[in-house]
Structure 1
Amino acid sequence: MPQHLRGGAVTAREWWADGERTLGTALGRLVPHEYAEPSLLPGWTRAHVLAHVAGNADAVTNLLHWARTGVETPMYPSAEARDAEIERRAALAPPELEAEVLAATRELAEAVASLPEEAWTAEVRTFQGRTVPATEVFWIRAREVWVHAVDLDAGVGFADAPEELLAAVVDEVFGAWSRRGAVPAVTVFAGDREWGSGGVAVAGSLADVAGWVTGRTAGEGLRCDGPLPALPRWI
């Protein structure tokens, strides 16, 4: 969970609940032929995004099973298995895919509601290999549902997300770049928030910054003292 996040798991749990509702709203706006159309995530259709969202719900439910039982239950068996499941679900007819998204989301909500209080401090491991307390699942899922609700391009934008959540997403992007030694030579400003220390200054709203650094936009709405630089991938 991002270090600056005020309220910790309590705040992230609220973001998760609101994000699931927002994703459901975006899903409900889609008509069947739109599932096969491109999403805002390069290379993926809307069906791929929804398939991933369903798989992520299953994966987070696995972590809660691990926390409850103490039996190691990885989010995904492997990257290859995760990708194959995305392709399987993306090929489903739209009503079947919608049903799988809703079922996976419902099972996750039931797992959250039934987890004993003492199990929330149990340690589990994310797909990236970090060992975290089970409370981290709220941030993991909140980030997924909000960003992918935007990816569906169905009337939800980054401006609809809580500002602190967007700041946490930008924190995570810069953190991912830093771990790979790939931080671009930029300093990004959004109000009184600042990321990076490079020579190219980029400024704009938090929503526009989040869209750019996550690779969902080309930087529309941002101001720069030169051409906007190319950015590394987020994940």
Structure 2
Amino acid sequence: MTGVTTAYGWMVDGTDALLAQVDRLDDAAFAGPSLLPGWSRSHLLAHVHFNAEALTRLAEWARTGIENPMYADAEQRAEEIAHGATLPPDRLRELVHASARRLRAGLDRLGPQQWRAEVRTARGRTVPATEIAWLRTREVWVHTVDLDVGFSFRDVPADVRARLAGEAATAYAGGEAGPQLVAWLTGRAATPPRLDAWL
């Protein structure tokens, strides 16, 4: 279970980094823009909170064997974020901290067999529960950058950056921008393609 241990450690460190930035934000900053188009920092943090809740449901699914999807549907996810963005900053801070603790506790309850149980992501992929820690790792590190508070990808550990870059490149390579992306990554093009936000 080395992969789980590694991703779990990345998740814990990324969560600590995220929460440290959240706790430094003054209340007025929550209404300011994040790096995600159309989302304030409150939208972003509401998403981070409800993502933790959704992944906790996957951990419970793995533990009990009873199907417990991340979200009922896309509308539920959108409505949760829209509602969460209206909450007072103190409440949103509290929720982000609490859901992070619940997710970690949910993962800590999994035994070796349960870590291998299959669950389904919001995008419909069937994955072993070992992937839950990595799914959260992506969220906390990338969205800490998205808060736009001076934390950049230079502050993300190199091994996490490498895995993020590999996943993003794989996701884009099959699309319209794929050929130019590969050309740029291999030094055959001077400029990278314009890409929509990944994750």
Do these two structures clear the TM 0.5 threshold for a shared fold by scoring above it? yes
Extract unaligned runs of 5+ from structure 2.
none
Structure having the higher helix fraction is 2
Structure having the higher strand fraction is 1
Q: Give runs of aligned pairs for residues 33-44 of structure 1, distance below 5 A.
A: 33-44=28-39
CA distance in 1, matches of 2:103, 2:156: 21
CA distance in 1, matches of 2:16, 2:52: 14
For residues 168-226 of structure 1, give each alpha carbon's deviation from its aligned partner in whole angstroms, at most 9, with x where no partner exists: 1111112222354541513477xxxxx4x68424xxxxxxxxxxxxxxxxxxxxxx4xx
Q: Which residue in the other structure is 2:147 paired with? A: 152
Give the TM-score normalised by the residue count of structure 1: 0.78
Q: Secondary structure at the match of 1:155?
A: coil
Q: Give the fraction of aligned pairs with identical amino acids, expressed as a percent.
A: 46
Shift of 1:10: 2.0
8 A contact 1:184–1:232 mirrored in 2: no
Q: Which residue in the other structure is 1:200 paired with? A: 189
Is 1:95 matched up with 2:90? yes
Extract unaligned runs of 5+ from structure 1.
1-6, 190-194, 202-223
Q: CA 1:113–1:188 in structure 2 vs 1: closer, same or farther (change >3 Å)?
A: farther
CA distance in 2, matches of 1:200, 1:231: 15
Q: Which residue in the other structure is 2:20 paired with? A: 25
CA distance in 2, matches of 1:184, 1:27: 38
Q: Which residue in the other structure is 1:140 paired with? A: 135
Is 1:76 matched up with 2:71? yes
8 A contact 2:61–2:68 mirrored in 1: yes
8 A contact 1:48–1:89 mirrored in 2: yes
Q: Secondary structure at the match of 1:77?
A: coil
8 A contact 1:16–1:141 mirrored in 2: yes
8 A contact 1:186–1:199 mirrored in 2: no
Q: Which has the higher contact order (CA 8 A, sep 6+)?
A: 2
**Which amino acid in the other structure matches residue 29 of structure 1?**
R
